[in-house]
Structure 1
Amino acid sequence: MAANLPRDPGVMISTASLSAKADTAPESGTLAMWVDRAKAGLVLLAVAALFWGALYIGENAVRPAGMSPPPSLQYVPVDHQGQIAANAGRFEATYFNDPIYRSTIEEGGSRVAFQIPFSVGKNDSDLAFFLGATPGLQEIKLNGSVIQPNIPLDTLRGASDGTALYYMLPSTLLRDGANEIQVLVETQSTILALAPFHIGPAVEAARAAANVDLITSTIPIIAISFLIFATLLCMVTNWPSDDRQRIRSLMLLMGIWAARTYFITFQTPFELPFLLTSFLYYLLEVSVIVAFARHLFSGETHSAKWFKWLNWLWLALLVYLIAITAAGFAWGPALRPWFKGLAIWNAAMLFILAVVGLGLLAWGIVVRRDGRWLERLALMISLLALFIDTGDGSFDLALPFVANLPLTFYAAAPAGLLLGLGVVASIAREASEARRTVVQSNEILAAKLTEQNAELARSYDAQKQMLQRQVMLEERQRIVRDMHDGIGGQLLGLMMQVRSGGVEKKQVEEGLQSSIADLRLIVDSMDTADENLAETLRSFEHRVRAQVEAAGMVFEAHHGLDESTPGPGPRPTLQILRILQEAVTNAMRHSCATAISLSSSHDADGQIQISIADNGKGLPTKIKGGRGLTSMRSRAEAVRGTLNIISGAEGTTLKLSLPRPE
């Protein structure tokens, strides 16, 4: 390899340096990869700490201070009128980390009253009974007196089936010492359940109930709104072809997430059987897991292959779910445990999805520089919340290091707000970046266009000047030819006449004067060709004034042209000067005038008017029809002008009209 390297010292590389680079490149690449992995791990830890911290604050907020549920609770069966039979037996419901007091209907029936004993001291005042979300809550009594009538209270009959409530305990119904609260509950399933409760200061109960409503109702409403808004925003945005698959999978995820949040949180249009409620719940759980997986793999290689397998998995789980639901309706509660198996299966899928998905998202935040870090952060928190919700449904989870603080609300519902906000923020950032790119592109294009316009203007001016010089040069060449053919021929003829002796002295003098005058006209036209017409007329005035005054006449000039009137060019200027010179010469020779005047002006139409006038006796007949006037009119037509002669006893005026200058 060294033999093939160039020998120029400016570009030669030593084999030692090549070997050093070859040795250090893999090491530096490996080190950078491990640094990125460490950063991704730190991102995972930070997100987990943020999520568990928020969950810890939320779980403490939805509990009154000092809340400590007893390990078990007694309940008794009641009839449809809510009365306890005289010989009814007492049963016991054990407290589980759901958290809930749970028993089965085989023991007490589907309608029971949970009995909660408590004691009141003399200094206790403003007490309230706080009760968590309890499925089928109907009536509450204090010492046998109703404080909550026997009407359905599950106004949020979603999958969570109820919300936390608190009830003031009237002091008139309280006794010093032992008291009892009875909670009437009716169930649709095989499970009898009562949520954790607390009896204490009303202020604490009201605060906890308000926080429960905020987390389980208000925030989910906002979350659903943001998810719908983000989905619509994705729909109306014109995405590049490379992003469309990712955006479609993101829209699917947000749509299913919004439906799951609504179903868990809010009342369905009509009351559903337990099996159908379970079917819809697990359908949404399976769908959101598959949709999340589809979105995670949408930006990866071989995404079409992943989509195919995920779609088949989705279909298989749907068929399984329909089958066990139909079997449950056909054969009763015997097949309901299959739903528990489906919950464990969901938890297992979510565990795999969380491990892979959180790693991919954290790696994307660290490595990929596409500006979607906020969207990925929201997806990480949402995935954690979904995993915790599903795991809690199967294994009754509690917060890490806080065993007495079990999870009570669906974390994925408020996490949907972060998902919607993250997507909206990501779209806003992409739109802002696109707008910035467009603005920068427009500025660059505008600068280039200005530069090109300036270059074109410079080129146009240069070409215009070159064309003007070329035209002027051609005009001057034609004038030179005129001088050669006209003055040269005239002088040559005069010289031949002098040599032959057939010409008088006066004729020689007149011929020479005519040639000199024509030569002066040519010189004037060439000298003033680059100037304006007013300057040309002033030069003409200066030259002919001496001739007129030498002949004993008065010469007057009135210039009315402004300095911006351009000159017509060398050859037209020569034609104009010849016309004016001929007019002055005729006036000097034939008019017997005492004064000659030159005037110039613009008429109402913008045309140029140039006049030569005298106060003589008028034109003789031989002049009116002579070759001189015919030649003058031909010259006027050559410059696109007209010649008008007015002659009478008071003198003669020659008017030359020229077109408006361009």
Structure 2
Amino acid sequence: MWLDLARLALRFLLAGAAAGGAALAGVLPAHLVQAQAWNPASGGWAPPPSLHESPDAVLSSTIPWSTVDLPHARARSTVSTAAQADAPPEVWWYRLRVPGEALAATPQGTRLYIPRWQTVGTVAVYADGHLVWQSHGSRVWNSFNRPVWVDLAGHAAPGVPLEVHVRMANLPGVGGALSSVWAGPAEALWPGWRLRSLLQTDLVAYLRGAYLVLGVFALAVWLVRRGRGEAGYLLFFLLSVGHLLATLFYLVDAEGFGVPDEWFSWLTLVGSLGSSACSFFLLCRMLGRGYPRLARAVVAYCGLVALAALPLWDLRHEAMLPLLRLALFPPALVVLCVAALGAWRERSWSSVLLAGAVALSFPLAVHDLAMQRYRISIEHIYLTPYVYMGVFTMFLLVGFTRYHRALEVAEQANAVQAERLAAQELQLRETHELLRAAEREQTLLHERQRLMREMHDGVGSSLMSALRLVETAPAAPVDVAQVLRECIDDLKISIDSLEPVNADLLALLAGLRYRLGLRLEGAGLVMHWQVDDLPPLPWLDAQNALHVLRILQEILTNILKHSGATEIVLSTAEAVWPPPEGGGDGTRGVQVCIRDNGRPFSPPASEALAPARRGLPNVHSRALALGAHCTWSTSDGAQAQGSTFTLWLPLHKQG
């Protein structure tokens, strides 16, 4: 029922195209649905160059022409002997008369349009007794599926009836068929010819090319991901190649493919068998089920048929093409059963559609086989290529559905993972806040301990010294005010070390000058500053700044108490350590120099220091903590006067 509706729709479509073209041309073309046929007793494969040179004397008035309806088909046998296959051809002539009113003069001229012819042999078309078109190449795999489009320029006069002859030479017993014929203005016939060319060959070629591109892409994916259970991509590629080989004979043109007839027939057969086997394995993979015994049976059957059909055994394919096509039904039936069973078990729309597409291929294959056997009109369109497209599209659709499901599962997994990650980030943030709070508390504790230690060693030590002097020598005069000033200076220096100096040593020295300036002036000492710009010291934090201040405070206090100097010069500069001797390279740093004009001073060896004198050991220990170096030097000569203290500080503290 539905096949009849499809045929009716196609006829209306083609008729509509022809009518539309006729309306554009203004002249109705002639649709020839009757012809006169004649089967001469002799003939050859090659058509004569003209009817006057034909050995059949086609132009003779004594020929017993018989009237036939177009399309006209002659019965075809399934099997012939080798002798029949090598016998001379059977020749049939068709004579048609084109009315003069269909041959009006138009800008594009007149054309002869034959929708389809089919036989195992050759076909030639004559207009006004002259050869205007003939088939070329293979007699078996010829251009039967391509509409004939002949330019009648020079052979048809406007308004004059034209006689057209069609010569068909074929193998004995294989029969032949000729469709109805159109003749008239090119403008009127072009839409119908173009539409039929699209449906019979061009669209099939476009779709085959598109699916082969997808198959190559699947092959590339398999090559990248092989070994990961992705054999479905390889099966998809093999399926696309098999479909291409199985439908090549629909696309043969006058030039052919340059492959011998037997091997070309065998390739199309192997392509059909291979596509059925790949469809079976791909379907099993998509349904998640395996049928080992059935799989072995399918492979064995396809292999045996392909082996038996090899041209090596002198098998005459041209005489038994329909029989070879029947050999494709068993594996296709297995694919249908597997698809139907999968649809019954899964009950999903994709599996049902896939089973329906596979089931649809059977009546359409019967339709095409009937066309090959000339059981139905050859003006129909071969539908098997489009069934392949439908099944192929269903595989793509099912694959896309499964891919979409995989994406949804991946998205859900990503969402769950994102939630877990957010919870872990929150927990990590809370832990980080706790660690930062503990770190702040630890830092404050260390700072308190450092301040307590500095106050104990600085202010506390000074107060204890003053208390010891008062208690042990009450009769001696003690400058308590001076002691208290020193205690206050110690306290202020400890407080100043807490101020940020931003790695600027000069800012630190400026604070020291401010704190000790009044005290030095009160003692009659004049202090000169000769400072230059210095590079920043990244390591100069509060604790290290206090070490620097304590060292310089100790040196200035010793000068004040013991040297009797009247002038002090404090200078800064960039320097390297150790000092360059003989061109050697040292470590870059800065130095602070304090020079006085008092009594020269040379520090005693560390083991010679009195236990009560802790100033110089503190200087050395603090310099060691900074990674610094401190030296004392005096002027040479009999009139030597004054000492120079140098504190070298590195630009980058090691460790």
Give the TM-score normalised by structure 2.
Answer: 0.67
- Are 2:112 and 1:112 aligned? no
- Find out whether 1:252 has 2:238 as its counterpart: yes
Sort the Cα spacing of 1:201 and 1:145 in 2 relative to 1 into closer, same or farther, 3 A.
same
Contact 2:368 2:384 in 1 (8 A): no
Q: Show the counterpart of 1:29.
A: none
| Secondary structure in 1 matching 2:39 | strand
Give the residue type in structure 1 aligned to 2:521. E
Q: Distance in 1 between matches of 2:643 and 2:389?
A: 103
Matched with 2:380 is 407
Report the AA paired with residue 184 of structure 1: R
Letter in 2 for 1:231: G
Are the counterparts in 1 of residues 309 and 315 from structure 2 also a CA contact under 8 Å?
Answer: no
Contact 1:164 1:209 (C-alpha < 8 Å) held by counterparts = yes
* C-alpha distance in structure 2 between counterparts of 1:49 and 1:517, whole Å: 120
State the distance in 2 between where 1:658 and 1:470 align. Answer: 28
Q: 2:476 aligns with which of 500, 505, 520?
A: 505
Task: Please state whether the residue corresponding to 2:381 is helix, strand or coil.
Answer: coil
Instruction: Establish whether residue 233 from structure 1 lines up as the match of residue 217 from structure 2.
Output: yes
Deviation at 1:262, TM superposition (A): 2.0
Partner of 2:43: 79
Partner of residue 645 from structure 1, selected from 632, 647, 650: 632
Q: Distance in 2 between matches of 1:387 and 1:407?
A: 17
Question: Are the equivalent residues in 2 in contact too, given 1:554–1:594 (CA < 8 A)?
Answer: yes
Counterparts of 1:311-330 in structure 2, within 5 Å, are 311-313=296-298, 315-316=300-301, 319=304
Aligned position for 2:122: 137
Query: Within 5 Å, which residues of 2 pair with 1:579-658?
Result: 579-600=551-572, 602-603=574-575, 607-614=589-596, 616=597, 618-620=598-600, 630-631=616-617, 634-635=620-621, 637-639=623-625, 640-648=627-635, 651-658=642-649
Q: Which moved more, 1:588-597 or 1:109-118?
A: 588-597
Q: Secondary structure at the match of 2:468?
A: helix
Distance in 2, matches of 1:52 and 1:460, equals 82
Alignment match of 1:102 (pick from 45, 61, 74): 74
Distance 2:383 2:225 in 1: 33
1:525 positional shift: 2.4
Cα distance in 1 for partners of 2:288, 2:240 equals 23
SS across alignment from 1:269: coil
Equivalent AA in structure 1 for residue 239 of structure 2: L
Contact 1:612 1:654 in 2 (8 A): yes
Partner of residue 493 from structure 1, selected from 458, 462, 468? 468
Alpha-carbon offset, residue 102 of structure 1: 2.1
- The match for 2:494 is 525
Per-residue CA deviation, residues 199-233 of structure 1 (Å, 9 max, x unaligned), is: 32141444444444444444444334333322221
Q: Distance in 2 between matches of 1:404 and 1:134?
A: 11
User: How far 1:234 moved relative to its partner?
Assistant: 0.9
Q: Which residue of 2 aligns with 1:548?
A: 520
The CA deviation at 1:656 is 2.1
Aligned length: 581
The 2-side partners of 1:623 and 1:270 are apart by 108
1:196 Cα offset (Å) = 0.7
Structure 2: state its 5+ residue gaps: 23-28, 49-53, 577-586
Cα distance between partner residues in 1 of 2:295 and 2:511: 97
Pair 1:314–1:389, CA change in 2 (3 A): farther
Counterpart in the other structure of 2:26: none
C-alpha RMSD over aligned residues: 5.8
| Alignment-mate amino acid for residue 74 of structure 1 | A
Q: Work out the CA distance in 2 between the residues paired with 1:206 and 1:455.
A: 79
Q: Is the contact made by 1:381 and 1:415 (CA closer than 8 Å) also made in structure 2?
A: no
Please name the residue that 1:292 is paired with: 279
- CA displacement 1:259-280 (0-9 Å, x = unmatched): 112243233534425xx77665
Deviation, 1:619, is 1.4
Instruction: Output the CA distance in 2 between the equivalents of 1:258 and 1:231.
Output: 11
Summarize the Cα distance change of 1:585–1:120 in structure 2 as closer, same or farther, 3 Å threshold: closer
Identify if the C-alpha distance between structure 1 residues 409 and 270 changes in structure 2 by more than 3 Å, giving closer, same or farther. Answer: same
| CA pair 350-481 structure 1, distance change in 2 beyond 3 A | closer
User: Which residue of structure 2 aligns with residue 147 of structure 1?
Assistant: 132
1:254 is matched by which residue type in structure 2? S
Looking at structure 2, the residues matched to 223 and 168 of structure 1 have their Cα atoms a distance apart, in angstroms, of 30
% identical equivalent positions: 14
Corresponding residue number in structure 1 for 2:583: none
Structure 2 counterpart of 1:393 = 368
3-state SS of 1:607 partner: strand
- Residue 174 of structure 2 is aligned to residue 191 of structure 1: yes
Maintained 8 Å contact 1:599/1:612:
yes
Displacement, 1:247? 2.8
Cα distance in structure 1, aligned partners of 2:16 and 2:491: 107
CA contact (8 A) 1:156 1:162 kept: no
User: Aligned partner of 1:75: which letter?
Assistant: W
Structure 2 matches for 1:443-454, cutoff 5 A? none
Give the structure-1-normalised TM-score.
0.66
| Gaps in structure 1 of 5+ consecutive residues | 1-44, 368-375, 398-402
Matched with 2:258 is 269
Contact 2:90 2:170 in 1 (8 A): yes
Q: Once structures 1 and 2 are overlaid, which stretch shifts more, 343-352 or 230-239?
A: 343-352
Counterparts in 2 of 1:578 and 1:68: CA distance versus 1, 3 Å: closer
